[in-house]
Amino acid sequence: MNDLEKFKPCTGYCQMIGAATALLSIKNSLVIFNSPRWCALTAERELTCINKDYERKVFCTEARENDILYGIEKSLRETIKEAIDMEGTPTLLNVITSCSMSLIGDDIKGVCASETDCNNVITLDAGGFTGTFESGYQLAMIALLKNINSKVTEQKSLKVNLLGVCTSYPNWKGNLEELKRLLRLAGIEVNVALGADNTDFAELEKLVEAELNVVLVPELSLNVANYLYESLGQRYIIATIPFGFKDSIKWLNDISSELGVIPNLKEIENEIKQLERGIIDEAYSMRNFFSNFNLLQMASSLPESLTISIFKAMNNSGVDLLNCNACYCNKKDVIEHTSSNESLPLKQLTEIKGLDGKGYQLLLGTEKERMRFKDFTRTLYLNFSMPTEKIKCENDCYVGVRGWSNFVRNIFSQIKTLEYINKSL
């Protein structure tokens, strides 16, 4: 039955949503889904959870049987006119074509050119059957970069671009601010954070100023980094978003080494010492107060590279309450650098089994997975992908130094609550 998962893109987050997420990060950008209504509604439902403003930036041609048979030109022209009448001429107009409409072969670019004086138009075939959220995101980002007029200039030392920032990850803004803070304390300036919401289109032309591109999520940005290397000669390093104190220090050292400098980490190391004391004291108190329990397994719907980063941070934290025996994740986008982690107990998310014995499991994902797992009294949950909560706490973060303290605090708090509940049952 698991083999059928790839034929059910609308039960997950398909390539169309990934492409739209990337393109809507540009200020004054509009997206038209060249698709049947239900495709667009599925995508819009997820996109508006990311940002309520996206609700007025997304339109649909509402393709019907006649459009599939005779072409979408008339419906597309009407949709472009509707979008411009409602929102004005955008800085960037995007038409994303779904699976069924990709078969028709309409001249989408030509229709757009005749209907609008928008200087920047992107047309993509990004149907859910042909790729994942991650592949759609990269496809859109590369198309976006092909529209900018960047010329190779003198690159500035100690200046980096962050690739793989994605608004579909809850707390993305707080996470990004923490990464910028750590780099700033280490003496490194962030030039452009590609994928950050409300990015000015003109700002993309500044990408060439950075000496180095930092690939935060390879599944979202490795192809983008390769494109920038081939077109602009920019070097890049794969430095996956760091979780945990040790990984944060290693992340800064790796980037600094690639830049050929020695970072000043004294302030960050002092901050870590302070935070570690609190975590160790709390862990000791919990271990004495509650009975002997363990984290039996971790499940994540995040890309494999991020899952590995979190899993390693938990097991290398020096806190036995965070040690996890097994990890289940989405391994559909395995890439070369992550597949070398064969020694890790990684299994496909679809293979996850119920808990056996006393303990808990940690779920990092969406409400969809949470409802599917159902074992609420033994499952710790954090919304790590495709935000579902309407109340936004923009400064919250889980990455880096401050984020790890927040992550552990949330885990400990949930363990306490579930221990009290389970004792009363």
95-105 tens-digit pLDDT:
998 876 766 76
Judged against a pLDDT cut of 80, whether residue 295 lies above it is answered with yes
Tokens coding 57: 């930036």
Question: What are the tens digits of pLDDT across the range 331-382?
Answer: 654 444 444 455 677 888 888 887 776 789 999 998 888 888 888 999 999 9
**pLDDT confidence band for 13 (50 / 70 / 90):** confident
Question: What are the tens digits of pLDDT across the range 243-282?
Answer: 999 999 999 999 999 999 999 999 999 999 999 999 999 9
Helix, strand and coil content of the chain, in percent to the nearest 5, comes to 50, 20, 30
Q: What local confidence, expressed as pLDDT, does residue 289 receive?
A: 86
Question: Average pLDDT over the chain, rounded to whole?
Answer: 88
State the average pLDDT over residues 166-183. 96
CA distances from 267 to 180, 254, 324, 403, 415 (A): 15, 18, 30, 16, 31
Q: What local confidence, expressed as pLDDT, does residue 341 receive?
A: 55
Q: Which of 259, 264, 261 is nearest to 239 (CA)?
A: 259
Q: What local confidence, expressed as pLDDT, does residue 154 receive?
A: 66
Q: What local confidence, expressed as pLDDT, does residue 103 receive?
A: 60
Is residue 29 helix, strand or coil? strand
> Does residue 64 or residue 118 have the better pLDDT?
118
State the average pLDDT over residues 154-172. 90
Question: What are the tens digits of pLDDT across the range 211-237?
Answer: 999 999 999 999 999 999 999 899 999
Percent of the chain with pLDDT over 70: 90
**pLDDT confidence band for 4 (50 / 70 / 90):** very low
| DSSP code per residue over 75-99 | HHHHHHHHHHHHH-S-SEEEEEE-H
Tokens coding 333: 């986008």
Radius of gyration over every alpha carbon of the chain, rounded to an integer in angstroms:
23
CA angle, 192 as apex, 337 and 245 as ends, to 5°? 55
Q: Which residues pair with 179 in a beta bridge?
A: none
State the average pLDDT over residues 381-390. 86
Q: What local confidence, expressed as pLDDT, does residue 102 receive?
A: 67
Residues whose CB falls within 8 Å of the CB of residue 32, separated by 6 or more in sequence, listed in order? 58, 59, 60, 61, 76, 79, 80, 83, 93, 94, 95, 96
Residue written as tokens 């221990």?
A: 419
208: amino acid identity, one letter: V
Out of 101-110, 124-133, 189-198, the most confident range is 189-198
Question: What are the tens digits of pLDDT across the range 115-148?
Answer: 888 989 999 998 777 788 999 999 999 999 999 8
3-state secondary structure 145-206: HCCCCCCCCCCEEEEEEEECCCCCCCCHHHHHHHHHHHHHHCCCEEEEEECCCCECHHHHHH
Q: Which of 195, 223, 225, 147 is nearest to 23 (CA)?
A: 195
Q: What local confidence, expressed as pLDDT, does residue 317 receive?
A: 94
Give the integer Cα–Cα distance in Å for 252 and 236. Answer: 14
Q: Which of 60, 36, 35, 43 is nearest to 125 (CA)?
A: 35
**pLDDT confidence band for 150 (50 / 70 / 90):** low
Judged against a pLDDT cut of 80, whether residue 292 lies above it is answered with no
Q: How many Cα neighbours within 13 Å face the side chain of 285?
A: 10
Q: Which of 391, 341, 381 is nearest to 361 (CA)?
A: 381
Q: What local confidence, expressed as pLDDT, does residue 349 receive?
A: 83
Is residue 403 helix, strand or coil? helix
Query: Any idea what DSSP says for residue 339?
Result: T
Contact (CB, 8 A) for 168 and 136: no
Phi, psi for 98 (deg, rounded to 5): -85, 180
Question: What are the tens digits of pLDDT across the range 296-333?
Answer: 999 999 999 999 999 999 999 999 999 998 999 876 54
